[in-house]
Each structure stands twice: as C-alpha cells, then as structure tokens.
Chains A and B, each alone.
Chain A
Amino acid sequence: MMNGGYCEHCGRTFYPERKYTCPYCGSNEMKRIKLPERGRIISYAVKKDKDAVAVVELSNGCRISGVVKGDRIKRDVKIYKSEEGIIEILKEFDLLE
C-alpha cells in the first residue's frame, strides 16, 4: 500500500505526501493516509521502445503518475510502488491479488 496525503480542510488526497501545504487549498492540516490500489487511467502516452506512462485517478480521487507495465492499456488498473519509488500501473488485477 502506498502512502499519500489527506487534507483535513478540503478533504482531498494527493500523492506524494507534502511537508507544508495541501496542493489544492493551501491548508497545513494534513495527515498521512494509505492510498487505494485501484483506479482508472485518465490518459496515457506511449514512447517508442519504452513503457507507456499514464495519469491514473485512484478510487478516492487522488491522481498519480506512473509507468504502465505490459503491452495493452486497460482502463481499470491497479498500482504498485517499487522500492525505487516508481509507481507501476498494472493492468491485470490478478498480478497483485
């Protein structure tokens, strides 16, 4: 499970966690939360000979960027953060289940 930030003032979640303020409303009332693992791809881009990258909206509305693993792009995805801090966007649900 990945950590993210939750703003107690505006109720939004964001990734990465932030030290000072909520990126949406500027409040400093934030706490750490566990981010959901499921979301949907908002848009993706494919570089030649490289993994596609995408913007994903997680089920709680938090938006993340990451690298798409595998050949086909599916709308509904699951995410996984590697030790290097790279968010992998996995298309088949069973990869983590």
Chain B
Amino acid sequence: MRDVNIIGIGAEKCGVSDEDLIDLMAKSSIDAVSDAGNVEIDAIFVGNMASEEFTGKKSIATYLADELGYRGKPAMRIENGPASGSASFMAAFFSVISGFYDSVLVTAGEKMTSVSTEECTEILAKMLHPVEKIHNFTLPTYGALLTRLYMNEGLTRDQLSMVSLKNHRNGAKNPIAHFQKEITIEKINTSPIVVDPLRLYDICPISDGSASVVISSNTQKDGILVAGIGQATDMHAVYQREDLTDLRALKMAFERAKKMAKISIKDIDLMELHDAFTILEICEIENLGLFKREEIAKAYKDGIFEIDGEIPVNTSGGLKARGHPVGGTGIYQIYEIVEQLRGKAARRQVEDAKTGLCVNFGGFGDNVIVSILKRS
C-alpha cells in the first residue's frame, strides 16, 4: 500500500460565530487547499453530524462543492455522530490509499449556536438508544454516571478539576480555541452543577466551527504521514456494558491503529483525546494503557500531561477549551497534531514531536476512531 500524507490544513476559530455552516466550511477548505499548494483536488469528503437539525440544510457536501467552484468533482457527506470528522477522514484515507483518488479534501464542521442550549442537548441526545431516550438520558447523564463511579473509588473534586484547568491553560495559547482564557480550580469547583456530580466546567462548550485537511499520495517536505487508523464499536445502549469504565471500543480501535502504524504506546509523543466531559480524558488515559487508575491523579499533579510534560494531552485545549463543533471535532484534533508535528504550534509547541495520536468518540464510547500521525 502507498503512503498517504496530510499536505494541507485549515481551521476556523471555534466559538460562537456569526457565519453560516457553509461559510465556515468554505473558508477552512480554501485555507487547507492553499496550504497544500493548490494541489488538484479529486474529491471532497464532508464530516457533519446534524446540519438538518441545527441549520435546516441537507446535502451539505454538494453545497460545499458548489461554493468552492468544484463543479463536477465527487463530494459526499459522512455522518457518524461526533466522530463524523474522523469518519470522513477515514473514508478519504481509504480512497487515497487504494489509489482510487490521489488528493482529496476533507472538511468537517458544525454550526450549533443557531439553537438554544436545551434544543442542542435534545439534538445531541438523538444519538442515544431509544431505551435511554425514554428515560431522559442525555450525553451529560452518562458523563455524570461515569464521574460518580470514579468518585466512588476516591477521585476527588480537585483531582477532576485538573483536567479542565490544564485544557483551559492550553486553550489560552491557541488562537483558534473557543475559550482562550485560563481559569482557576476555585472557579471550576464552584461552577453550577449541571447533572450532579458534573459541574459546568466539566463539560465542553457548544461551538461553531469547521476544519479541513488535504490528504494526498504526493510526498512533500513537510507532509505528515497517516501512519495508522482504527475504528471499533461497542454496545449502543451504554447502560448494558458490563463496566462503564471499560472503554472497549477505544481499546480495540487503538490496537488496530497501533498495529497498522507498527508502533507501541511509548512511541507516541502527544495526544488529542475526546474530553467532551473531563472524566472522559481520565478514563481514556486509563483505557489506552498509559497509567493505571490509581496513578492518574498523581500524573496530573506531576504535570505529565502538560505541554512540557512527558506525554502532553490536549495541547489544543481539547474539546473543553478548543471547543466541540461536534461533527468537526475529529478534524480539529488532526489539525492540532499536524501543527505540532510541523513544529508550527508556537506557544503550544511540544518539543521534538514526531508521533501524535487522536481519539474521536462518536457517542459515549460506542463508536471510536483512533488516528496516528507521524512526521515523515
């Protein structure tokens, strides 16, 4: 199989935007294609979860192709919940590694602030199993259920708040982050309870945004190799899992990506994890096999996951501070890793970063995509 490289990236600032989804997508697309030296694009893959509910628009891929002046070029949208971004990336990757296309544009985004917070929670809850829906479960419900399980085993409020503290600190250094301001432990600990024991600062914001990458069989001097990619599912009704803390789909997706990249966990220099809720970052670190449950709080305290730490996690600010335009998040994660591997992450730069990993959840761990990128 031939190598597939990321040769161009573009991203709009996450946050509350005045612009429509199509404009956010068009802008990040134009930037990525320009960054790729205006290479000839063979096709477009669009990642988006819910343009129908958020913006009233279907067929967003056709619309984007048209706006970009790509009359005639193939375009399709991939919906895979909050992993729509990574799923569109994966589909694009298959198209290039197979030799079907040579260079493709992947654009993923979401416009979410067009509806109220309550409507947004309702739209997102549509990804749950019907039995969960009938009991008024939402995604934050699962965040709270998981947080309580860890707290029952001794995780303290202060320890949990380390996640939000770090991610806001990193977001403050990221010009495309939704929140570019550091916060204090006190502010996190006294923020309103949303679903007990989850507090406001345990939950990612509702963001607008779009990010794009161009992947290609071309090799350029600063091309970033897509070294491995893996996906797995778990039971759709999350309550049915034998153990809510066991992220089986993450473990399987990681194994698959790792095997393809022919690396071990020790080779990974930094990670973008799916911290839709702060507890998920902790749970993912555990399930990736980085640290045992009882060691994680100390690792946060020792600064292991900071930008200058042993294994930096969410240098972008993560979903918590960079933002979570749901269908777009997977590409924002890849964007951050590419900036890091190119050495262009400025104040967030991880020294000598060679290999990075992204974890994108399409639901509460029931559809997971892991990507491994390498400086070629």
Check A50–B136 contact: CB distance below 8 A. yes
Residue pair A23, B145 in contact (C-beta under 8 Å): no
Please measure, in the bound complex, the distance between the C-alpha atom of A65 and the C-alpha atom of B144, giving whole angstroms: 14
Cβ-defined contact, B244 with A42, below 8 A: yes
Let me know if B240 and A43 touch, CB within 8 A.
no
**B239's contact among A24, A48, A64, A86, by CB below 8 Å, is which?**
A64
A42 to B149, CA, bound (A): 8
- Cβ of A39 within 8 Å of any chain B Cβ, yes or no, is no
Q: Mark A46-79, 1 if CB is under 8 A from B, else 0.
A: 1110100111000000011111000000000000
* Count: A-B pairs, CB below 8 Å: 65
Question: Does B1 sit at the interface, judged by CB under 8 A?
Answer: no
Are A65's CB and B193's CB within 8 A?
no
Q: A45-B141, A45-B148 are in contact. Are A16 and B131 (CB under 8 A)?
A: yes
Chain B residues with Cβ below 8 Å from A43 are: 145-146, 148-149, 152, 244
Chain B residues contacting A53 (CB-CB under 8 Å) are 135-137, 141
Partner of B135, one of A23, A24, A65: A65
Please, which residues of chain B bring their CB within 8 A of the CB of A86?
Answer: 134-135
Among A63, A64, A67: residue with most chain B CB under 10 A = A63
B299 within 8 Å of A (CB atoms):
no
**Residue A15 at the chain B interface, CB threshold 8 Å:** yes
A55 to B235 CA separation, bound complex (whole angstroms) = 15
Q: How far is the CA of A15 from the CA of B197 in the complex (A)?
A: 26
Establish whether residues A45 and B196, one from each chain, have CB atoms under 8 Å apart when the complex forms: yes
A33 part of interface (Cβ distance < 8 Å): no
Q: Are B132 and A65 in touch, CB under 8 angstroms?
A: yes
- A16 to B, closest residue via Cβ: B131
Residues A63 and B239 in contact, CB atoms below 8 Å apart: yes
Complex contact A23–B193 (CB within 8 A): no
Given A16-B131, A42-B244, A45-B196, check contact A55 B239 (CB 8 Å): yes
Asked if B195 is at the interface (CB within 8 A of a chain A CB), the reply is yes
Quick one: which of B152, B196, B237, B242 contacts A46, CB cutoff 8 A?
B196
A44 in contact with B145 (CB, 8 Å): yes
A48 touches B193 (CB 8 A): yes
* CB atoms of B240 and A46 under 8 A apart: no
B296 to chain A, nearest CB (A): 19
- Please tell me if A85 contacts chain B, counting CB pairs below 8 Å: yes
**Contact between B240 and A87 (Cβ–Cβ < 8 Å)?**
no
Write out, one digit per residue, whether chain B residues 142-174 have a CB within 8 A of any chain A CB (1) or not (0). 001110110010000000000000000000000
